[in-house]
Amino acid sequence: MIVYCATTNPGKLREFRLAAERLGYKIAIAPLPEMASIPPVEETGETFKENAIQKAIYYSAHAPGPLFADDSGLEVDALKGEPGVRSARFAGEGATDEANNRLVLEKMRGVAQRTARFVCVIALAEKGRLLATFHGVVEGEILEEPRGPNGFGYDPLFYYQPFGCSFGEVSGERKLLVSHRGQALGRLLKFLSDRPARNRKA
């Protein structure tokens, strides 16, 4: 079975494929063909779930099979939930990971309360119709400086207590065991794996 993914982020696609492989599902994750030539959907939602649904419904109309889209990001309690849905563009449209990380650190300078979480919502759609949504969350803290060369986005700033290090200091395989994206994708893959059984009973 093939499920298409609406993302141009190579880091996300790599994590999704790795998670599917580790979880042992016989489901191939493929990028949406020629997604770069499709006019991008405007993300107007105020929550991760709203944006994921918008993207999945829109891009699934261009996909030859079921398609999922995710919206994910970092919520910092001391910043009242920011960067939130603006995580990828916190420092402005087209901002680099480094610029976004730098802005978070600037806003957190001298702040003692550093609790935060990564959130991911995946929406699955087919031919413009929403099928289901899946949620994942992992709790951590914001470091005072980036640590580690691995991962992408805010991974070097995100300290995960059970590992005793940042997400930027662990392998992608280890991070996926606990990550927000790994959790949400695991629920999506289980749903897809169970679909034939549900359809036979219908």
Catalytic residues: 71
80: left (phi over 0), alpha (psi -120 to 50) or beta: left
Query: From start to end of 52-164, where are the E strands?
Result: 67-76, 115-126, 129-142, 158-160
Write the secondary structure of 27-81 as one string of H (helix), E (strand) and C (coil).
CEEEECCCHHHCCCCCCCCCCHHHHHHHHHHHHHCCCCCCEEEEEEEEEEHHHCC
22, 15 in Cβ contact below 8 A? no
Candidates 93, 90, 116; CA nearest to 101 is 90
Q: Which helix (H) or strand (E) holds 107?
A: helix 97-107
d(CA 177, CA 15) in angstroms, rounded, equals: 11
Structure tokens at 146: 């980036």
Backbone angles phi, psi at 136, to 5 degrees: -145, 145
